[in-house]
Amino acid sequence: MSQKLRVAVIGVGYLGRFHALIYSRMSGVELIGVVDADRTRAQAVAAEAGCAVCDSLAELAERVDAVSVVVPTTTHLDAAEPFLRRGLGVLIEKPIAATRADGETIVRLARDHDALLQIGHVERFNAGVMALAERIGAPRYIEAQRMGGFTERATDVDVVSDLMIHDIDIILSLIDAEISSISAVGAAVLTPHVDIASARLEFANGAVANVVASRVSEKQTRRIRVFQSGGYLSLDFIGQTIDRAWLRETPGAERPEIARERLQVEPVKPLDQELAAFVASVRTGAAPLVNGAIGLKALEVALEVRARIGH
């Protein structure tokens, strides 16, 4: 595919606007247009990104090679379907859908029409997460915390679907085993949905992960700790540092010492990296890092966590 890749963005709210702006300055990519239920919003973003405002998804599907779907989660299937049916490249923001049935339909449409499907679990493109994954062997225990203050932006969904699903996806990528048990607690605090939650995931190989997510905390925390045979690693998402500790044998010593080091990770812009990877996959046909099946699995676990909370 030597010509410019023609793309569009469906939904240009807070996050969709960034998709449009990134595509607009990407080499080898032509941003054809944007779509949004709020036409005034669409016009403002189109002017900023230097593209057109489009009204019909069906017509747009005939003019593009790929799209980002950044609409509310409950409408992911409706927005993505015209493009999946034409076998185009589709990036759907996380989670893949609001329900398992919709998620399964999206995956089936992509498979049946040979459409490349990527799910926007952007933290997989975080430089710290990538550096951590390279240093992980066989985790036995993982502890993840994703906590921050209250914002109005994502109060239409619960904290499990909004925040915890990031760490669920990362944990599933690090532990090579099926989940055998899930327990969870949580509470609604400032919205009708669960605003703070804690989940325990137990795996068939004996590994355990404890995950906490909150959007009603005073201090922002983004951290994941991984314990494995011989030592542990701790990633600070905000500081982009990895603290590592391991047993080091010292000649003549009665017992091994605990060695420690701090690795400073070179930060990258995760969304830029994610969209660049999506464009590359559409061009080459290479499998996305987070395909539909992976996105669906993260959704299924998140839904089970929510069910265990019982809210």
pLDDT given for residue 184 in this prediction = 98
Give the pTM: 0.93
H helical segments located in 159-291: 159, 165-174, 270-284
Backbone torsions φ then ψ of 205, nearest 5 degrees: -90, 5
Neighbours of 293 (CB within 10 A): 14
pLDDT given for residue 227 in this prediction = 97
Domain spans of the chain? 5-115, 124-268+301-309
Kindly list the averaged pLDDT for each block of 10 residues, start to end, along the chain of length 311: 87 97 97 97 98 94 97 96 98 96 98 98 96 94 94 77 96 97 96 94 98 94 95 95 88 79 94 98 97 98 95 62
Q: By C-alpha distance, which of 205, 194, 126 is closest to 172?
A: 205
Burial class (CB in 10 A: 0-12, 13-18, 19+), 13: middle
In the chain, the N- to C-terminal Cα span, in Å, equals 48
pLDDT given for residue 90 in this prediction = 98
For the domain made up of 124-268+301-309, the CATH class stated in words is alpha beta
CB 233 within 8 A of CB 136: yes
Find the Cα–Cα–Cα–Cα dihedral 52, 53, 56, 58, rounded to 10°.
40
Q: What is the largest CA-CA distance in the chain?
A: 75
What topology is assigned to 5-115 in CATH?
Rossmann fold (3.40.50)
Structure tokens at 30: 């032509």
CA angle 22–23–29, rounded 5-degree value: 145
